Structure 1
Amino acid sequence: MAPMSNAEVRARLTASLAELEHRLGSIKRDVTRSHSGDWAEQAQERENDEVEDAIGLETTQSIADTRAALARLDAGTYGHCERCGEPIGAARLEALPTAAHCVNCAD
């Protein structure tokens, strides 16, 4: 598999970042909406809020990972493992464009 060009990587990461930021905005709007006066509905809404909070945290981490990948691209270090310095495989970067570590160094 041929590696993606820097322009392709940047376009993919930028599109992903925009989608993640939109998703996070939607989650924040959902969490701040008013809740029902019914006790049973409030219990369900609290459960839903907990799920949305977890998704929000995951989305926030994905945004940070994407921004870090864009920073590595700008610095010229994208595609090289942050631990060992070896190239990250093209297939891994295709599957996970925010990867900062090669398969051997990944947690």
Structure 2
Amino acid sequence: MTDLSRHRAQLDDQLALLLSRLRDLDAELDSHQSKDWEELAVEREGDEVLERLGQSGQAEIAQIRAALARMEAGTYGICVTCGQDISEERLDLLPSTPFCRTCAR
């Protein structure tokens, strides 16, 4: 049986961290307003990197929220593909995973 309270705490902590990082990324993106063309070009390149980080963060947030929804539904720790239990060791490493080890391959 999975340790729901521990995994929920892990997921909540990771979600809070990601949301904070995304707020910081948004603030950084909003702060770039250089009038110099060369500086503006460099800022735009940096902005593309920040935007990709933001997209990655949004995807991870979606995975965490899905895991929290599975907890509420009582299906957390059950593989969404085959219906078998996800090992506690796997959930310890990847608390938001919806797949058992076999189906994740």
What range is the shorter-chain TM-score in?
A: over 0.9
Instruction: Give the 4+ runs in structure 1 shifted more than 2 A.
Output: none
2:78 matched residue in structure 1: 80
Segments of 5+ residues of structure 2 without an aligned counterpart are none
Does residue 74 of structure 2 align to residue 49 of structure 1? no
The AA in structure 2 aligned to 1:100 is P
Would you say the 8 A contact 2:86–2:100 is kept in 1?
Answer: yes
Alpha-carbon shift at residue 103 of structure 1 (Å): 1.5
2:93 to 95, 99, 104: 95
Q: Deviations over 1:33-69 (max 9, x none)?
A: 1321222211110110000000000101111110110
Identity %: 42
2:19 matched residue in structure 1: 21
Alpha-carbon shift at residue 4 of structure 1 (Å): 5.2
The AA in structure 2 aligned to 1:32 is D
The two structures, once aligned, show a CA RMSD in angstroms of: 1.3
The AA in structure 1 aligned to 2:52 is A
1:65 matched residue in structure 2: 63
Which has the larger share of helix?
A: 2
